[in-house]
Structure 1
């Protein structure tokens, strides 16, 4: 029987690339997203495997619980949950930020991820040995930067939540990993900048950034690891990206 992966935020970026990669490897897929038309297109594209699409806002607790409690065969045995849905909004310093954007990031990156995880934990535990939760974190969890403020905080939560889940799931056979990409080229940056194509182009020009397919390959590798192995946290940067010296603001 084919294994089943649940992928949130599957209509673009890492999520879409992962859906394509797992489909090519013969997995059944449960794909969530807020854009019904895109989900329909993806289902048509991935006709070589069994695909269930769910138009779903991960911030809607009741909708999430209803969607995942009603999974039928062949999707009811969940082998892998990829918590990919998330976003960043704005690049301003904290004192100039829109509070509503902060709340949206918290609701999506923290509340949404935990709600989906809570809804699927019983199914993952039932699957047992070899089942995996893979949370998409970010290097922003450990390497703060100006304008990162709440986004960095939400990704720090994702990393600590992942580690704590491992403690609670000890003995169940369920693995938990946090995959933390660095500079990545995707729709993510257009969302963050409110559709600013110039900012997008400038950010990635000559950077040879991580591509969604790179992350999709890594996700499949994590899912296919022998059942006795767990990658706790995996941080990935493009070769072009590294660290800068500490900033020092001096009196003039």
Structure 2
């Protein structure tokens, strides 16, 4: 039987690299991202199903769940950095923080809820992509880090409530991605890890299927 994975934020960065790695191992893929053109190109390359849209929208979440009635792996990779340049918490716009929580916390939970019947049936796995900003006190990273800390605790409780699943909240470390470049500049981002190498480690984790928990890939 072919394994099926649903990956959000799959048009670039870690999501794209993991999609390529899983496709190479014969996985069936359902991919989503907001950029339709980029996502369609990726899907054509990998022979995957592309469902472009915004994971904050309930109708889109429902479409994704319907597209994967049999599901072995959910990867909540889509996320937002928030306000840039990164502001101190004293100046963080509260409306922007509320929007960031919706993207980085509420949307992953909504997709988990929508796909849980299929994941339970397959005794599958959930990967929630987090960050060391969830645990470290880095100036300017308070808004983003707070959302990732919330996602980590959500994952921790989900693992306790769904013992037949594997739930991993995964800190990929710094990677050479557009998001990191937006935060720290292109020159510093270029020195970070290649997402393909990080995706290979994540693929190994998925294959090894260790106990639920927090995982650092670098």
Do they fold alike, i.e. is TM over 0.5?
A: yes
The two structures have a TM-score, normalised by structure 2, of 0.92
Instruction: Say if 1:216 and 1:46 are closer, same or farther in 2 by CA, change over 3 A.
Output: same
Structure 1 position 58 matched with structure 2 position 55: yes
Kept after mapping to 2: 8 A contact 1:222/1:231: no
Indicate which of 172, 177, 188 corresponds to 2:179. Answer: 188
> What is residue 108 of structure 2 aligned with on the other side?
113
- Following TM superposition, by how much is the alpha carbon of 1:149 offset from its aligned partner in structure 2, in angstroms? 1.3
Indicate which of 91, 97, 101 corresponds to 1:102. Answer: 97
Structure 1, gaps ≥5 residues long: 194-198, 238-252
Kept after mapping to 1: 8 A contact 2:11/2:35: yes
Kept after mapping to 2: 8 A contact 1:6/1:31: yes
- Following TM superposition, by how much is the alpha carbon of 1:98 offset from its aligned partner in structure 2, in angstroms? 3.3
Q: SS at the partner of 1:55?
A: coil
Distance in 1 (CA, whole Å) between partners of 2:189 and 2:59 is 39
Q: Deviations over 1:137-163 (max 9, x none)?
A: 111111121111111111111111111
Indicate which of 58, 64, 74 corresponds to 1:68. Answer: 64
Q: Deviations over 1:15-65 (max 9, x none)?
A: 111111111111000001111111111111113xxx111112111123212
Structure 1 position 141 matched with structure 2 position 126: no
> What is residue 44 of structure 2 aligned with on the other side?
44
Which aligned segments of 4 or more residues in structure 1 are displaced greater than 6 angstroms? none
Structure 2, gaps ≥5 residues long: none
Decide which moves more: 133-142 or 38-47. Answer: 38-47
- Following TM superposition, by how much is the alpha carbon of 1:69 offset from its aligned partner in structure 2, in angstroms? 4.1
> What is residue 207 of structure 2 aligned with on the other side?
224
> What is residue 234 of structure 1 aligned with on the other side?
215
Decide which moves more: 55-64 or 106-115. Answer: 55-64
Indicate which of 168, 181, 200 corresponds to 1:177. Answer: 168
Which structure dedicates a bigger proportion of its chain to helix? 2
Give me the CA root mean square deviation: 1.7
Distance in 2 (CA, whole Å) between partners of 1:55 and 1:166 is 29
Distance in 2 (CA, whole Å) between partners of 1:169 and 1:114 is 14
> What is residue 200 of structure 1 aligned with on the other side?
185
The two structures have a TM-score, normalised by structure 1, of 0.80
Structure 1 position 163 matched with structure 2 position 156: yes
